[in-house]
Amino acid sequence: MITNDLIKSMFIDPMQNGADTLYIVSGYAAPNMASWLFKRTSSMSPIDVKLFFGRAAEGVSMPMHESFIDLSRNPFSKSCRSFSCQYIYQNAPIYSNVYLWLKENKPFIAFTGSADFIQASFSKSRREVMTKCSPEEAAEYFDQIEGDSIYCYSSEVEEYIPIGSFDEKIDELNRLHQLDEISVKLSLLNSRTGETHKTSGLNWGHRINTHKKKDGTVSQRSRNPNETYIPLPKRIADSGFFPLNKQHFSVVTDDKKQLILRVEQQGNKAITTPKSNALLGEYFRNRLGLSNGAFVSKADLERYGRTDVTFIKVDEEQYFMDFSPSEELIGD
C-alpha cells in the first residue's frame, strides 16, 4: 500500500522512469489539481493527460466546466503536451479512482485506491490509500469506459451533463445572508503610503532583478511589466480563507472570466496566476482600460471606480472575485 508521499510515488517517479502519458478516471476531479500538477512537474519532460470525470452526470459547476475546457485548449505547454477531459454520462456513474501511466504507448504502471483527482487528496489534510494494480487490466478498464464518455468541450455536452449556474449559487448564498461570512476585501493600495506599490502588487513586473556574478560584476534583467499580484495581509492568509501551500483555486470574476490562482511568496503575501504572473496583470489592466505593461497608479484605480477587490468563497476550490466599479467612488 502507498500511504505517504503519493505525489512522488504516483506522478514523479513514473515520469522520471520515462512514462509519458497519464490516463485518469476519478469519481470526483477538479481542474485546479491538473494545473497544480502541471506546475509541480514543469521542470520535467512534458506529458499527455487524459482525464475521465466519473461522477460528472451528477452535475458540474459552470466555473469547473469552463476551466476544464480552457485546460483542454491551453494546457501548460512546458509540462503538458495535451490535456483532455471526458465526462462519464452513460450507464452507472464511476466512483473508482484509477491512474494508468503509458510509456511509448504501452501500459507501464497503474494505481488504484481512495484518492480522487483533487488537491485535497494529495495534501497532509487527508489520509488516502493507493496501491499498484495491473497496468494491462487498467488499460482494459479505460477501453471499457471510453464509450460511456463525452468530451467536456463537445457541443452536445449540456444535453447529457447538468452544468450548474454560478450566479444561482451566489444568489443562494446571498439569500442565506452568508456572503459577509465567506467574503474578504483586499486592498490594491500600499497600506503605508495609500498609493499603488511602485515595484510590487499591481506593478510587480516593474522591478528590475539584479544578479551578482562570480567575477563581481552585476547584471540586470527587466521583468515582464504585466506581472502582478494581489497583496494578501497576514491576518487573512493565516485565517484559512484561501488554500495555502501553493494549492490552486478557481475564480470566476464579476465580468465572467475564469482564472486559476494560488497564494505564494514568503509569508503567503501574494495571490498570483501560477500559469504566468502576467495573466493577472493583463486582466487588471484590461479592466482599467490601460495598455499592456502600463504602470498602474492610484488615479487609474479611482478613475475606474475601485481600489480593492472582493473574494467570495463558494467552496474549498472555487471563489468569486468582484472587481466591479463602485458607484460611490465613481461619483467622487
pLDDT 10s digits, 244-288 = 988 999 888 888 888 899 999 999 999 999 988 899 999 999 999
Domain boundary, last residue among 164, 191, 209 = 164
Is residue 210 domain-shared with residue 154, that is, in the same domain? no
Q: For residue 88, is it within any domain?
A: yes
Q: For residue 123, is it within any domain?
A: yes
Is residue 21 domain-shared with residue 121, that is, in the same domain? yes
At residue 306, the pLDDT reads: 95
At residue 12, the pLDDT reads: 95
Is residue 211 domain-shared with residue 160, that is, in the same domain? no
**Dihedral (Cα; 201, 205, 207, 213), 10-degree rounding:** 130
Is residue 57 domain-shared with residue 188, that is, in the same domain? no
Q: For residue 178, is it within any domain?
A: no
Is residue 12 domain-shared with residue 160, that is, in the same domain? yes
Q: Tell me the backbone φ, ψ of residue 111, rounded to 5 degrees.
A: -135, 150
Q: For residue 62, is it within any domain?
A: yes
Cα angle at 248 between 244 and 249, to 5 degrees?
100
At residue 318, the pLDDT reads: 83
Q: Which range of residues forms the domain containing residue 51?
A: 6-164
**What's the rounded Cα separation, in Å, for the pair 78 and 139?**
26
At residue 302, the pLDDT reads: 95
Contacts of 140 (CB under 8 A, 6+ apart): none
Over the range 79-105, which residues count as b (16 or more CB within 10 Å of their CB) and which as e?
Answer: bbeebbbbbbbeeeebeebbbbbbeee
Strands (E) located in 35-94: 47-53, 60-61, 80-88
Identity at 83, one-letter amino acid code: F
At residue 77, the pLDDT reads: 62
At residue 331, the pLDDT reads: 45
Is residue 323 domain-shared with residue 215, that is, in the same domain? yes
Per DSSP, the residues of 79-104 read: TEEEEEEEEE-SSS-----EEEEEET
Q: For residue 249, is it within any domain?
A: yes
Q: For residue 224, is it within any domain?
A: yes
Q: What count of Cα atoms within 13 Å lies in the side-chain half-sphere of residue 126?
A: 14
- Phi/psi-derived region of residue 216, left when phi > 0, alpha when psi is between -120 and 50, beta in every other case: left
At residue 212, the pLDDT reads: 58
Which residue has 504501452 as its cell numbers? 106
Domain boundary, last residue among 164, 192, 227 = 164
What is the CATH classification number for the domain harbouring 21?
Answer: 3.30.870.10
Is residue 21 domain-shared with residue 155, that is, in the same domain? yes
Q: How many domains does the chain have?
A: 2
Is residue 223 domain-shared with residue 145, that is, in the same domain? no
Is residue 116 domain-shared with residue 28, that is, in the same domain? yes
Q: For residue 1, is it within any domain?
A: no
Q: For residue 176, is it within any domain?
A: no
Report the first-to-last Cα separation within the chain, whole angstroms: 64
At residue 213, the pLDDT reads: 60
Is residue 11 domain-shared with residue 99, that is, in the same domain? yes
CA distances for 186 relative to 201, 239, 307, angstroms: 11, 14, 9
Domain boundary, last residue among 133, 164, 195 = 164
Is residue 110 domain-shared with residue 200, that is, in the same domain? no
* Residue ranges of the chain whose pLDDT lies below 50: 176-177, 330-332
Is residue 144 domain-shared with residue 187, that is, in the same domain? no
At residue 79, the pLDDT reads: 82
